[in-house]
Chains A and B, each alone.
Chain A
């Protein structure tokens, strides 16, 4: 009577399907620590997002910048102290009396990872490539400081020898500038100024075609302290010490593994599990816990950027500077940095960050009483008669919290009715660019440590202005800045410009950024850097400190 259970289960087809598919996918994927061996120094770094590409002339993001600094080296390099610059491929440089011509002397022992020497001609060909219209490089404008670069990029000049780039011999490179740029060496650290190896690029397609296979592991030829050995998309990018780097003897790490981790909570958990030595950032709500339990791992470093609100000055009543000023004064910035951002950010009462030798001029002052007085003077006592204003922000927990706090401060302090509008990133950029907003959240991070880049933002009609603000006096002053005889005089001009922004309030400064990292104690030589650039060649690992294991803590 009793039969054995039937073999033919209705689930069989599914199980068969599953087994088949597993065969086809295979799970034998190797770990990123394939380079691991006894005593090897491998640094595991949380690095934000998956890089777009590893072509320094194509990428635009911070993520890529971090990676590319390990694979390439420009004329100048990071300084081990995190401040200032050190010689890179160029061992020395000088500028002409009129400050318009810069001459760079390249070191004889600079080599590409395939053994070729790095020559001035390599730089020349690289600059020609990034400026070629067909390549459509988004950051080509970084080179517009040089005579003819802009015309060549627009296609109106086709003879590259007519531009200000020249290589009198293999080890000399000269740049002839449109106007004096006292901070030029700092600009040269940007990836758009890095050399690329044209013979390699041409092996994989035309030099002016982006997206060829030359940036893949095994193909990529760089001149940096490390070489690319593995690229597992969305998992890890591994770079190993380059034997041909001119300063290879002083490179301490054997390998760096960059993990693209977009979720800050995931990153923090991986750090806690010992899978990461350093993180790209961390969740704001965990900062207190680390401050209490692991103070030695928490780094809160100044970051060269300002978090602010743009004001659309073309829309009434925001065309009235008294209204704008009232709004700017009625914000409790201390409360925002203490209760929302919590990473030690500095409240900002003016636009340009007080770093890189800059000290502020006039700052916003007067507080709530002055704000209420100004609003009444503009004809809106206690906010009466003022139309509802709208704050636009892009999707993010922090932006939302900051906007809500300010909505509340304006409502209770000034009696102003404020609405919030949240838009997805690209829609928000579109609205911002087309002035389709009243007030919108914005941020600016310097590409180089000099106030010039910040104050350029609010030039009349500037591509990054996005407020409708224009002031001929401001534009004129800004133009005089670069011609100033010395740094002190130049900074004085910037102070004037910054004071104009404080007076005219086309934007409301909120706070100066901080970069929050978790760094394991075994990582040595990690120094603060206001651009958050890392000189990977200087970092080291202390083998005496065991790899991260924070079991049971926090």
Chain B
């Protein structure tokens, strides 16, 4: 298993290299740059700006410098949170821990990309995990219920709810929840990210979408498993329905959910642009989108690399969990 994980980790190096290079060059091919502004900037000022960011050098030199900056040059994970309790400092420090320097932001000159990610990722992570909790807590039981009462009113209700959850976009669901719970009932703030209660509406909005997917996948997985021989055997031996579901069926029935969750978690914790905008959450999802609009080269590259790293890591985690859930699979 260790060898499997090590080999997979080694494989990520060329993948990340390709992603970093593609992002680097694609950004520079897009019309408009970080200094394209509505009001004209004189040639001299533009030259000063480019010199400040090292963009006066030839592109290959810029590329080489960038690759060197993002290459891990240290391994000191214990220093990741070394400054965590210092006031106003970012929550973790990629530079101190791994020597990764994602560069200065073009749009926000007094912040580095390392800092922006360290500031924003924890908020997205927190929102994502609450949403995930909502998704699993609602989706799995709903899916199991639907599978066990296949083609009954219960199943149809659950399936319809799931379909609605998938079809109602978050930018509709979010404001609807705000209108009812915040503006009508006055239970919560309309937006903001200051108190524990501020987590409820965004987590519900984001979680409901994923709950719908989880419910549908759980139902499908469970239906397949419930027809298997070993379930029939368990039934024949007189096991209770609860035991059959929890002990025998769920493990296999959740396999599609697990496969889905890998990339889904990467997406969910790296932030949601829509939710973060509607609820004024200082998360990474907004940076991910607005940095592209701002042509903030370093911030785009940094967030893309982070997202790629997360997807790779979570897909690996999914593979490990799948082997653990499915006795027919082996590490190889």
Looking at the assembled complex, report how far the CB atom of A397 sits from the nearest CB atom of chain B, in whole angstroms: 14
Q: Which B residues are within 8 Å of any A CB, using their own CB? A: 30-33, 35-42, 44-45, 48-49, 51-52, 88, 91, 104, 107-111, 116, 119-120, 122-123, 125-126, 129, 132-133, 136, 140, 175, 178-179, 182-184, 186, 189-196, 199, 238, 240, 242-243, 246-247, 250-251, 254, 261, 277-283, 286, 293-295, 321, 325
Q: Please, how many angstroms separate the alpha-carbon atoms of A9 and B321 in the complex?
A: 13
Going nearest first, the 4 A-B pairs with the smallest beta carbon separation are A463-B40, A426-B32, A234-B282, A136-B48
In the bound complex, CA of A386 to CA of B165 (Å): 50
A234 touches B286 (CB 8 A): yes
- Report the separation of the CA atoms of residues A18 and B191 in the bound assembly, to the nearest whole angstrom: 24
Give the complex CA separation of A553 and B269 in angstroms.
36
* A263 and B277 form a contact (CB under 8 A): yes
In the bound assembly, the distance between CA atoms of A450 and B194 in angstroms comes to 43
Chain A residues contacting B294 (CB-CB under 8 Å) are 426
Residue contact A140 to B246, C-beta cutoff 8 Å: no
Are A2 and B191 in contact (CB-based, < 8 A)?
Answer: no
Q: Are A153 and B44 in contact (CB under 8 A)?
A: yes
Q: Are A31 and B195 in contact (CB under 8 A)?
A: yes
Determine if A30 is an interface residue (Cβ-Cβ < 8 Å).
yes
Q: Which of A245-253, A266-274, A357-365 contacts B (4 or more CB under 8 A)?
A: A266-274
Question: Smallest Cβ distance from B265 to chain A, in angstroms?
Answer: 9
- Whether the pair A213, B31 counts as a contact (CB closer than 8 A) is no
Provide the bound-state CA to CA distance between A431 and B30, in Å.
Answer: 12
Among A30, A136, A153, A464, point to the contact of B39 (Cβ < 8 A). Answer: A464
A274–B172 CA distance with the chains assembled, in angstroms:
22
List chain A residues, Cβ under 8 A from B183.
Answer: 269, 272-273, 551
List residues of A (262-286) whose CB comes within 8 Å of B's CBs.
Answer: 262-263, 265-266, 269-270, 272-273, 275
The residue that A263 contacts in the complex, of B120, B132, B278, with Cβ under 8 A, is B278
A96 at the interface (CB under 8 A from B): no
Report whether A210 and B191 are in contact in the complex, using a CB–CB cutoff of 8 Å.
Answer: no
In the assembled complex, the Cα of A272 lies from the Cα of B178 at a distance in Å of 11
Most buried by A among B30, B45, B110: B110
- Least CB distance from A14 to B in Å reads 7
Q: Which one of B31, B120, B179 has the highest number of Cβ atoms from chain A below 10 Å of its Cβ?
A: B31
Residue of B nearest to A265 (CB): B175
A124 to B212, CA, bound (A): 63
Most buried by A among B48, B132, B251, B277: B48
Query: Is the beta-carbon distance between B126 and A27 smaller than 8 angstroms?
Result: yes
Report the stretch among A52-60, A103-111, A498-506, A536-544 that lies at the interface. A52-60
Chain A, interface SS category: loop
How distant is the Cα of A462 from the Cα of B293 in the complex, in angstroms? 26
**Residue pair A136, B52 in contact (C-beta under 8 Å):** yes
List B contacts of A22 (CB < 8 A).
126, 129
Contact partners of A259 in chain B: CB under 8 A: 280
Residues of B within 8 A of A472 (CB): none
Offer 7 A-B interface pairs, CB within 8 angstroms, sorted by A: A27-B196, A31-B195, A52-B109, A60-B39, A138-B37, A210-B52, A235-B193
Quick one: given A140-B45, A430-B32, A463-B41, are A232 and B282 in contact (CB under 8 Å)? Answer: yes
Task: List residues of chain B with CB within 8 A of the CB of A425.
Answer: 32, 293
Question: Which residue among A22, A136, A216, A427 has the maximum number of chain B CB atoms within 10 Å of its CB?
Answer: A136
Q: Complex formed: what's the CA distance from A133 to B46 in Å?
A: 10
Residues from chain B with Cβ under 8 Å of A272 in the complex = 183, 190
User: Once the chains are docked, how many angstroms separate the CA of A140 from the CA of B168?
Assistant: 49
Q: How far is the CA of A93 from the CA of B39 in the complex (A)?
A: 30
Which A residues touch B189, using CB under 8 A? 270, 273, 275
Contact residues in B for A216 (Cβ distance below 8 Å): 88, 110
Answer whether A273 and B182 are a contact pair too, CB < 8 Å, given A210-B52, A463-B41: yes
* Range, interface on chain A: 35 or more
Question: Are B175 and A269 in touch, CB under 8 angstroms?
Answer: yes
Chain B residue nearest to A27 (CB atoms) is B196
CA distance A263 to B279 in the complex (A): 9
A141 at the interface (CB under 8 A from B): yes
Also in contact, A233 and B119, with CB within 8 A (given A13-B321, A259-B280, A424-B293): yes
In the complex, chain B residues whose CB is within 8 Å of the CB of A29: 193-194
Report whether B45 and A11 are in contact in the complex, using a CB–CB cutoff of 8 Å.
Answer: no
Residues of A within 8 A of B199 (CB): 27
Q: Say whether B194 contacts A32, CB under 8 Å.
A: yes
Q: Would you list which residues of chain A between 166 and 221 have a CB under 8 Å from chain B?
A: 210-213, 215-218
Bound together, the chains give a CA A159 to CA B227 distance in angstroms of 87
Residue ID in chain A nearest B39 by CB atoms:
A464
Q: How far is the CA of A21 from the CA of B286 in the complex (A)?
A: 21
Which residues of A from 1 to 54 have beta carbons under 8 Å from B?
1-3, 5-6, 9-11, 13-14, 18, 21-22, 24-27, 29-32, 50, 52-54
Given contacts A136-B52, A269-B178, contact A53 B282 (CB under 8 A): no
Residue of B40, B182, B254, B277 near A262 (CB, 8 A) is: B277
Question: Chain B residues near A217 (CB, 8 Å)?
Answer: 88
Query: Which has the most chain A C-beta neighbours within 10 Å: B109, B116, B189?
Result: B109
Taking the nearest CB of chain B, how far is it from the CB of A489, in angstroms? 29
Residue A134 at the chain B interface, CB threshold 8 Å = yes
Q: In the complex, what residues of B have CB within 8 A of residue A418's CB?
A: none
Q: Check if A546 is an interface residue, CB within 8 A of chain B.
A: no
Alpha-carbon distance between A195 and B305 when the two chains are bound, in angstroms: 40
Residue of A nearest to B279 (CB): A266
Contact between A10 and B51, CB atoms less than 8 A apart: no
Q: Given A52-B107, A133-B48, A265-B278, 4 other A-B contacts at CB below 8 A?
A: A5-B242, A14-B136, A426-B30, A430-B32
Whether A154 is near chain B, meaning CB under 8 Å from some CB there, is yes
